[in-house]
Amino acid sequence: MSALPVGTNETAPPVVDEPSPDGVRRLTLNRPQTRNALSVAVMDALRAALHRAGDDPKTRVVVLAGAGPAFCSGHDLRELRADPRRETYERVFAQCSELMLTITRLPKPVIAEVHGIATAAGCQLVATCDLAVAAADARFATPGVNIGLFCSTPMVALSRAVGRKAAMEMLLTGEMVDAARARELGLVNRVVPAAELRQTVDALARTIAAKSALTLAIGKAAFYRQAELDLAAAYRYAAEVMTTNMLAHDAAEGIDAFLEKRAPVWCDR
C-alpha span between 253 and 106 (Å, rounded): 25
Task: Say whether pLDDT at 175 is over 60.
Answer: yes
Residues comprising the chain, all counted: 269
Q: What percent of the chain has pLDDT over 90?
A: 95
The hierarchical CATH code for the domain 213-259 is 1.10.12.10
Contact (CB, 8 A) for 197 and 66: no
Model confidence at 1, in pLDDT bands (50, 70, 90)? very low
At residue 9, the pLDDT reads: 54
- CATH 1.10.12.10 positions along the chain are 213-259
Task: Say whether pLDDT at 3 is over 90.
Answer: no
Model confidence at 217, in pLDDT bands (50, 70, 90)? very high
Task: Say whether pLDDT at 165 is over 90.
Answer: yes
At residue 2, the pLDDT reads: 41
Helix or strand or coil: residue 110? strand
Say if residue 133 is exposed, middle or buried (CB neighbours under 10 Å; 0-12, 13-18, 19+): buried
At residue 30, the pLDDT reads: 98
Average pLDDT score over residue span 83-105: 97
Average pLDDT score over residue span 102-107: 98
- CATH 3.90.226.10 positions along the chain are 15-209
Task: Say whether pLDDT at 7 is over 90.
Answer: no
Average pLDDT score over residue span 10-37: 94
Helix or strand or coil: residue 62? strand
At residue 93, the pLDDT reads: 97
Task: Say whether pLDDT at 114 is over 60.
Answer: yes
What DSSP designation does 145 have?
A: G
At residue 250, the pLDDT reads: 97
Model confidence at 11, in pLDDT bands (50, 70, 90)? confident
C-alpha span between 108 and 219 (Å, rounded): 10
Average pLDDT score over residue span 179-208: 98
What DSSP designation does 162 have?
A: S
Which residue, among 5, 200, 8, has the nearest Cα to 111 in the 3D structure?
A: 200
At residue 13, the pLDDT reads: 96
C-alpha span between 198 and 195 (Å, rounded): 8
pTM of the model: 0.94
Average pLDDT along the chain: 95
Q: What percent of the chain has pLDDT over 70?
A: 96
Class of domain 15-209: alpha beta
At residue 10, the pLDDT reads: 60
